[in-house]
Amino acid sequence: MLNCAPAVCEDPVDKYKANDIQYLALDAHDDRSFPLLKECLPPATAFIDAAHADGRAVLVHCMAGVNRSATLAVAYLLMRDRQCLFTLFERCIAARPSILQNPSFQLQLCSLAQRNGLLYDPGALGVGGGG
């Protein structure tokens, strides 16, 4: 269980421990000035990777499941799968249309994708192909 908003969304941590559910709280803020990916993506990635290595699934949540958790989940999938951001975004929006409404988080995702060569698919644009 990865809680991206523990200040506003309390989890029953004692019940998680009793049921051997791993838990991480990341105090992310859903505002335009918060550097979400810089502050939270590294620990979120480590937590999710460790859970997956143990064969466990991870539920990533925040208050409404719209900005903080969605942005971290998309960023994680972007880096794990090395897929074009816009292709990934289309898949995620199809599954949950209301996500990623914070413009700053959108820009942070675009910057992450650009730095890693994942902002667009060169093949889809006819770039890099022959003749």
- Alpha helices, DSSP H only, in 22-67? 36-53
pLDDT digits (tens, 9 = 90+) for 23-74: 999 999 999 999 999 999 999 999 999 999 999 999 999 999 999 999 999 9
Active site residue 4: no
Catalytic residue among 4, 40, 62, 84: 62
Tallying the residues shown for the chain, one arrives at 131
The pLDDT tens digits of the residues spanning 1-25 come to 999 999 998 899 999 999 999 999 9
User: Does residue 124 surpass a pLDDT of 90?
Assistant: no
pTM, two decimal places = 0.89
Beta strands in 1-131 (DSSP E): 2-3, 24-25, 60-61
| DSSP 8-state class, residue 46 | H
Compute the distance between CA of residue 90 and CA of residue 77 in angstroms, rounded to an integer: 13
